[in-house]
Chain A
């Protein structure tokens, strides 16, 4: 009986496989994100934004010879093992042409080093911000649409100095993201004449950080700078610091700009809490994206949605330009956005495809910026400092 059922199930499976094989082959790109793990609250909006780019491509005639572009979602869990597993599955089983993601720096470094670079698959991370990624030995195959934390850390340090912060303590999560951001911040803050009165890494997932906080506050700082994830350990640290009155003011990096912080701690307790994050410069491209993303029910102010969208749309353009050849995607990615050629705004797939088919140069102007990659595949960026207001995060000042 069991065998019979298995045979029937197998037959059905084969039948569906056959029926799809008859249609045109799809072009797949991997969408690897931290669906579970410490950035789980941010990941869905980011993946939705990438899916928006994919659906625009398909609505406007599809990719290459009218083929369908398919986004294959994988969970990189925001850690190196998860990133490697998800990338392996995307590259070896799904056979993706390129990858958007993974979301976290540690996952990017691990996936690039062990899977995508050896396999020759181009990867564009919308949120892997560690300075480590800049120096990665990647044969030019790893890009990002988000600026390095080297910029963010230094911009945050300068902004805090301008606002009169003298003495701060820094708590950072012990991974590639936290370490890179914290070191960039520390260097610039001290160079600007500020004092770092406590500087300590912490491990993820402990229940109490009060001893860490007591240790950090013993240096006499009145401000705690947290480089962690607001949906993970960063939330625990912020809660325990607020409850015990260790510090008067709190400043977070982009990872801390999570709605979980507001939802769990309450707006009324966060009057002295600020968070920095990359922002799109006001532009036509950004407005176009905002309108399109709002139309599909997305929140255009959610973190990293612009970079996620750009990463997916640019990869689609690059795949089109490369004629679907995996090996040429990286090269094409630079060509479609090098400041030369006709400007392409978010969503202008049909126009871009026509120009590419005619062999003309195009220059993508993304929602998050122009994305003219430098030799390391990095982009410069703009940042703003946010506070918590009645409507969620509100801009306090732009950071330079």
Chain B
């Protein structure tokens, strides 16, 4: 196997799927950092976002990329709504209660998607798109969009977190909730902001997964494990760590086919997750929470 083949069929798909994992992992890591629990409905929120975009695409006949902002807003609103209706009542209870509740939310969100859009595979645009060749590299235009959009979204988020007043408030909540509350930070606004960002990133992950493959009602749930592996690998609470983790998990999954029988590909993320928890539970970039 030559170098180009390795890049074309293993590294590039790995980076693309890794970017999608990264978008989800950033949301998981933020929820973990600020609210301190594992949010298991994350994958199904991504499914919802993808299908919201499908509704816009079929309803208005625009491209999925143009539908992305609407899907992001819609999913962010749903995420905030779910928090208000369900998670808020559990805030003072042990965190495991909320984790279990989020599993229930995952099933509910998926059921809603299945009721509205059915259980068949869908796609934004029918037919197939063959890749363009750049200097021997086979890349589809949508793969470029996916990686660029991920970098742009995370870049904006990073600037927001480090530069703006509310971003700083979120980081303060993550570092020390009690101190943050004492210094007058509005807990409720920070929580709401967290859900807006997490929900929006979920939608982006779902839409890009849908653009690159198909839309299925189980698409998000199947991504949950790799996304968690990415968040933990990068260090829980670190946005840049989640991006790094996502890319590593994505590429590792694809490369695993070279050494392992291909039926074990799905287990790669799980193996990475276990290995990191055993060897370096704080993650590559020294996460702040775990």
Taking the complex as formed, is A218 at the interface, i.e. its CB lies under 8 A from any CB of chain B? yes
Please classify how large the interface on chain B is, using the bins under 10, 10 to 19, 20 to 34, 35 or more. 35 or more
Cross-interface CB contact of A264 among B214, B257, B267, cutoff 8 Å: B214
Cross-interface CB contact of A232 among B10, B216, B261, cutoff 8 Å: B216
Give the residues in chain B near A129, CB-CB below 8 Å.
none
Cross-interface CB contact of B17 among A37, A200, A207, cutoff 8 Å: A207
Once A215-B257, A218-B1 are accepted as A-B contacts, the answer to whether A208 and B263 lie under 8 Å apart by CB is no
A207 vs B249: C-alpha distance when bound (angstroms) = 13
> What's the minimum C-beta distance from B64 to chain A, rounded to whole angstroms?
15
Give the residues in chain B near A242, CB-CB below 8 Å.
128
State whether B257 touches A244 (Cβ < 8 A).
no
> What's the minimum C-beta distance from A233 to chain B, rounded to whole angstroms?
10
Contact with A along B244-261 (1 / 0, CB 8 A): 000000000111011001
State whether B214 touches A235 (Cβ < 8 A).
yes
| Residue ID in chain B nearest A210 by CB atoms | B13
State whether A35 touches B119 (Cβ < 8 A).
yes
A265 vs B261: C-alpha distance when bound (angstroms) = 28
State whether B20 touches A212 (Cβ < 8 A).
no
Once A202-B265, A266-B128 are accepted as A-B contacts, the answer to whether A232 and B121 lie under 8 Å apart by CB is yes
State whether B120 touches A260 (Cβ < 8 A).
yes
A69 vs B257: C-alpha distance when bound (angstroms) = 51
Give the residues in chain A near B1, CB-CB below 8 Å.
218
State whether A203 touches B138 (Cβ < 8 A).
no
Please classify how large the interface on chain A is, using the bins under 10, 10 to 19, 20 to 34, 35 or more. 35 or more
| Residue ID in chain B nearest A40 by CB atoms | B119
> What's the minimum C-beta distance from A42 to chain B, rounded to whole angstroms?
10
List B residues 184-238 near A (Cβ within 8 Å): 209, 212-214, 216-219, 222-223
A269 vs B8: C-alpha distance when bound (angstroms) = 22
Taking the complex as formed, is A107 at the interface, i.e. its CB lies under 8 A from any CB of chain B? no
Number of inter-chain CB pairs below 8 Å: 117
Taking the complex as formed, is A236 at the interface, i.e. its CB lies under 8 A from any CB of chain B? yes
Cross-interface CB contact of B262 among A200, A239, A260, cutoff 8 Å: A200
A268 vs B223: C-alpha distance when bound (angstroms) = 31
A212 vs B263: C-alpha distance when bound (angstroms) = 9
> What's the minimum C-beta distance from A265 to chain B, rounded to whole angstroms?
6
Give the residues in chain B near A200, CB-CB below 8 Å.
261-263
Taking the complex as formed, is A214 at the interface, i.e. its CB lies under 8 A from any CB of chain B? yes
Taking the complex as formed, is B279 at the interface, i.e. its CB lies under 8 A from any CB of chain A? no
A213 vs B138: C-alpha distance when bound (angstroms) = 15
Give the residues in chain B near A218, CB-CB below 8 Å.
1
A35, A205, A245: most-surrounded residue (chain B CB, <10 A)? A205
| B binding-site residues for A, Cβ under 8 Å | 1, 5, 8-10, 13-14, 16-17, 20, 114, 118-123, 126-131, 138, 140, 209, 212-214, 216-219, 222-223, 253-255, 257-258, 261-267
| A binding-site residues for B, Cβ under 8 Å | 35-37, 40-41, 174, 200-208, 210-215, 218, 231-232, 235-236, 239, 242-245, 260, 263-266, 268-269
Top 8 closest pairs, chain A to chain B, by CB: A214-B9, A40-B119, A205-B222, A203-B266, A201-B263, A211-B257, A211-B254, A266-B127
